[in-house]
A and B are shown apart, each in its own frame.
Chain A
Amino acid sequence: MNKRPENLPDFTLPPLDEVVIGVQFEPSGNYSSIHAKDIWELFKGQGYPTPQEQPALDPSFETFGGLNPQPGINFKFGPPILHSRFWFISPDKNHLVQFQPDRFLINWRNRPEINPYPRFETIAESFEECLKALHKFFDRSLQSQLEINQAEVTYINIIPVNNLSCIREWLRFTNLDQIDLEGVNFNFSEAIKTGSGKPYARMSYSLQSVTSEDGKMNALKLTLTFRGKPEGTGIAEAMEFAFFGRSKIVTRFTELTTDKAHKQWNRKQ
């Protein structure tokens, strides 16, 4: 198993609600819906026995450049989607594998009453094992290579707050003391570049105010997503990308949140 980088900030009680690791790849021309059961068999024995069918996600690529930091137009097109996305859910419902012909993802969600956060390394290890199983399946049964063209890591944090006006106590980049905040909806992003200045990934930040289902509790939902093109199309490069993305997310999360918050989340280093 990969070891956690020694200098990476570490919290005993991080406000994590969900972690996602995923890849997008070139779909196999030989895949048809009839293979879905075989795919399920791959993951059933690895702790994901319960299937569910979901609408497929559209392809997505991180691109850079252009006059506008945000695209000026938005295309919606395409024939009716032929294939579904499948969820394979663990018995404790904490873990989930998602598969569709051009995507593979693993999700962990926080349910502290059942299991504590297993840490990124453990989730990544499961992801890599499952991805290798899928790679073998593509090779043996579909006579295709799994050529990864995008990878992503997402951390979703839920930070409970008494009222939104105390947002500054949690997040360094907000100073809204003069405003009696009713709601928050804030997105920003940064291009992540190689040493030579070439962009290859994007870090997206989203901050929203959320309320509990019974409407009694307020919280801030801070989502950090690292997404882009790994150095190569193989699993090793995708894993390297994912681990780098995790380090970037944890570093940025620590930079964006306050010392007081770190104390609450029991920062160890």
Chain B
Amino acid sequence: MSLAWKEGTTAFQDSQKARYIQPDQFIGSAFTSYRVVVPQNDSSWVRILEERLNELTSLPTGWDGYRGKPVSFQCAYFVANMLERLYQPNVPAPSLVPGSDGSLQVEWHRNMFDVELDVLDAQNIVATRVNCKTDDERVIEIENDFSEIVDWITALSSKKPHIVRT
């Protein structure tokens, strides 16, 4: 065996090209009522946020004119991972705002809701939603499970949510 596969943690596995025969991946479905989840890399979220994440991970120390820390690569990766989970096609991309402590705030202000996900560090989020009509505020702490805020994101949609069966 050669020590050729360098992309994953399973370092000793041989080069996929050299060793494996794999069929083409299936990307269609016979059942039109079901949605096949294929990453939409042409979506506005990807177009807008990739550029923004590139900017944020390239910030110099003192970027705010004081002692502002740059957004760490791990924190930005975690935010990207979170946004990949929260993505809904009818919701516009959020704003990404760096904090001087190296944190990253993800914000939507839409449909009379303010939703702010303050990512203090990877797996350390304070999520806030304010209903601007009623002034009701809800704050929750999240590590890695975003189930509780899916409805918050759905409420920002430009269309009524449809049932997704997978």
| Chain A residues at the B interface, C-beta cutoff of 8 Å | 17-18, 20, 22, 26-27, 52, 54-55, 57-79, 87, 89, 93, 96, 98, 102-103, 105, 107, 109, 111, 149, 152, 154, 156, 182-185, 198-200, 208-213, 221, 223, 228-229
Which residues of B lie under 8 Å from residue A213 when comparing CB positions?
A: 14, 18-19
Known contacts A78-B53, A156-B13: A66-B144 contact under CB 8 Å: no
Q: Give the distance in Å from the alpha carbon of A209 to the alpha carbon of B86 in the complex.
A: 33
Given A52-B3, A89-B3; 18 other pairs, CB 8 A cutoff? A18-B12, A20-B11, A26-B74, A54-B11, A59-B73, A65-B85, A65-B147, A66-B86, A68-B37, A72-B43, A77-B53, A77-B54, A103-B9, A109-B12, A199-B144, A209-B20, A211-B19, A213-B19
Q: Give the distance in Å from the alpha carbon of A67 to the alpha carbon of B146 in the complex.
A: 10
Is the CB–CB distance between B77 and A60 below 8 Å? yes
Is the CB–CB distance between B22 and A59 below 8 Å? no
Is the CB–CB distance between A68 and B166 below 8 Å? yes
Is the CB–CB distance between A96 and B11 below 8 Å? yes
B137 at the binding interface (Cβ < 8 Å): no
Is the CB–CB distance between A61 and B77 below 8 Å? yes
Known contacts A72-B84, A229-B144: A102-B14 contact under CB 8 Å: no
- Residue count of chain B within 8 Å CB distance of chain A: 61
> Which residue on A lies nearest to B39, using beta carbons?
A74
B33 at the binding interface (Cβ < 8 Å): no
Which residues of B lie under 8 Å from residue A73 when comparing CB positions?
A: 39-41, 43, 45-46, 83-84, 87
Known contacts A59-B74, A63-B85, A229-B123: A75-B144 contact under CB 8 Å: no
Between-chain CB contacts (< 8 Å), 23 pairs: A20-B9, A27-B73, A57-B8, A59-B78, A61-B77, A61-B122, A66-B147, A67-B154, A67-B164, A69-B166, A72-B88, A74-B41, A75-B80, A77-B54, A149-B123, A154-B10, A183-B22, A185-B22, A209-B20, A209-B21, A213-B14, A213-B19, A229-B123
Which residues of A lie under 8 Å from residue B39 when comparing CB positions?
A: 71-74
Q: Give the Cβ gap from B14 to chain A, nearest Cβ, in Å.
A: 7
B136 at the binding interface (Cβ < 8 Å): no
> Which residue on B lies nearest to A98, using beta carbons?
B11
Is the CB–CB distance between B144 and A200 below 8 Å? yes
Number of A-B contacts (CB under 8 A): 186
The residues in B between 112 and 158 inclusive whose CB is less than 8 angstroms from any CB of A are 121-123, 143-150, 154
Which residues of B lie under 8 Å from residue A57 when comparing CB positions?
A: 7-9
Q: Give the Cβ gap from B41 to chain A, nearest Cβ, in Å.
A: 6
Q: Give the Cβ gap from A51 to chain B, nearest Cβ, in Å.
A: 13
Q: Which 7 A-B pairs have the closest CB atoms?
A: A71-B84, A66-B85, A65-B147, A65-B146, A109-B12, A59-B77, A75-B80
